[in-house]
Amino acid sequence: MKILRDKKAIAIFLLPAFIVYSIIVMIPILVSIYYSALEWNGIGKKTFVGLSNYVKLLGDEVFRQAFWNNIIYIIIVMVLQLGFGFIIAVLLTYLKKGRGFIQTVYYIPSVITVIAISQLFTGFYSYEPLGLFNIFRKLLGMEPIAFLSEYKTVLPAVASVEGWQYIGIYMIIFYSALVSVSPDILEAARIDGASELQILVKIRIPAIANVIMLSCILSLVGALRGFAAPMNMTKGGPNHRSEILATYMYKKAFTSRDYGYGSAIAVVIVILSILGVLLISKYMDSEKE
């Protein structure tokens, strides 16, 4: 145990991970910051323009649309992943049989490629008033909807794909945390007359606060860098109604070949991710106090 208190030993063990993290994460971020100060098409001459790309963002109507779309996208994804994941995890703690089967069923979508899931849901939603979901709507006596073509439905439809796909991961995380709470404490609370809801709110949730915070951070960052589902299903359409920052960044950098502007959008995504992590951490710390 002495080696764990040796700062030099800790530094040696952390060094390989730090080097890998720097190469994969930090260096690309720094390169993106550098490119964001340039006007460059990826091939020709680089022209230094300073903060012009960021100023240009402020007046870009499509960027503003993508920004607010991304906020809605994040909310939908986090509600589905964290909300449903937590509810299922809680229910699993009371289940005596079939627990492994249910966990497997919910976890399977998270190991399937996003492209395959997107194609599947494209058929379910459809660009016309067709598809599996509209068959169910007709059975219920409801009018069919072209989910991926209508302004009001396209963004929730696309966001729900990523939200649904990774429910299983958060279910596993929450379930592992919930079953780690001491059964003696739970039993003592029951003997004292506490209801299951009171035990959940007063004992279980505070006991796994760190796990909840980590899950919120993972879900937030994952939603901010969401790309494959909206790009594959709608490419940001119709009329940018499902455009989010990642898809707009891709279009600017690799379709319009405006690497400087695309890099500026990428830097905004990084800043939003950092701010989101800091806000969640600060909120959870204040709740503990």
What pLDDT is attached to residue 2? Answer: 56
Q: Is residue 118 part of a domain?
A: yes
Q: Is residue 52 part of a domain?
A: no
Q: Is residue 11 part of a domain?
A: no
Confidence grade of residue 160 (pLDDT, cut at 50, 70, 90): very high
DSSP state of 82: I
Q: Is residue 125 part of a domain?
A: yes
Give the DSSP per-residue string, 156-207.
HHHHHHHHHHTHHHHHHHHHHHHHTS-HHHHHHHHHTT--HHHHIIIIIHHH
What pLDDT is attached to residue 3? Answer: 55
Q: What is the mean pLDDT of the chain?
A: 90
Q: Is residue 252 part of a domain?
A: yes
Q: What is the count of structural domains for the chain?
A: 1
96 has a pLDDT exceeding 90:
no
- As a residue count, the chain comes to 289
CB 254 within 8 A of CB 30: no
What pLDDT is attached to residue 21? Answer: 87
What pLDDT is attached to residue 258? Answer: 93
> Could you give the CA distance from residue 245 to residue 277 in angstroms, rounded to a whole number?
18
> Could you give the CA distance from residue 209 to residue 288 in angstroms, rounded to a whole number?
8
What pLDDT is attached to residue 1? Answer: 52
Confidence grade of residue 5 (pLDDT, cut at 50, 70, 90): low
- Domain with residue 147: its CATH number is 1.10.3720.10
What pLDDT is attached to residue 130? Answer: 82
Full domain range(s) for residue 200? 60-288
What pLDDT is attached to residue 43? Answer: 84
**Between the CA atoms of 17, 21, 27 and 30, what dihedral angle is there, to the nearest 10 degrees?**
-120
Q: Is residue 89 part of a domain?
A: yes
Confidence grade of residue 62 (pLDDT, cut at 50, 70, 90): very high
Name which of 67, 83, 89 is nearest 240 in CA terms. 67
63 has a pLDDT exceeding 90:
yes
Q: Is residue 54 part of a domain?
A: no
> Could you give the CA distance from residue 156 to residue 230 in angstroms, rounded to a whole number?
11
What pLDDT is attached to residue 281? Answer: 81
64 has a pLDDT exceeding 80:
yes
By CB neighbour count within 10 A (0-12 exposed, 13-18 middle, 19+ buried), where does 27 fall?
exposed
Q: How many CB atoms lie within 10 A of CB 281?
A: 14
Sign of the dihedral through C-alpha 276, 279, 285, 289: negative
pLDDT tens, residue by residue, 228-241: 899 999 999 899 99
Residue percentage of the chain with pLDDT more than 70: 97
Q: Dihedrals φ, ψ of 268, to 5°?
A: -60, -40
pLDDT tens, residue by residue, 245-258: 999 999 999 999 99
DSSP state of 262: H
- CA 58 from centroid of its chain's CA atoms: 25
Q: Is residue 1 part of a domain?
A: no
Name which of 126, 243, 114 is nearest 166 in CA terms. 114
The mean pLDDT of 98-105, rounded to a whole number, is 90
> Could you give the CA distance from residue 232 to residue 223 in angstroms, rounded to a whole number?
16
As given in the structure block, the two tokens for residue 280 are 């969640």
pLDDT tens, residue by residue, 20-60: 988 988 899 999 999 999 999 888 889 999 999 999 999 99
> Could you give the CA distance from residue 108 to residue 228 in angstroms, rounded to a whole number?
18
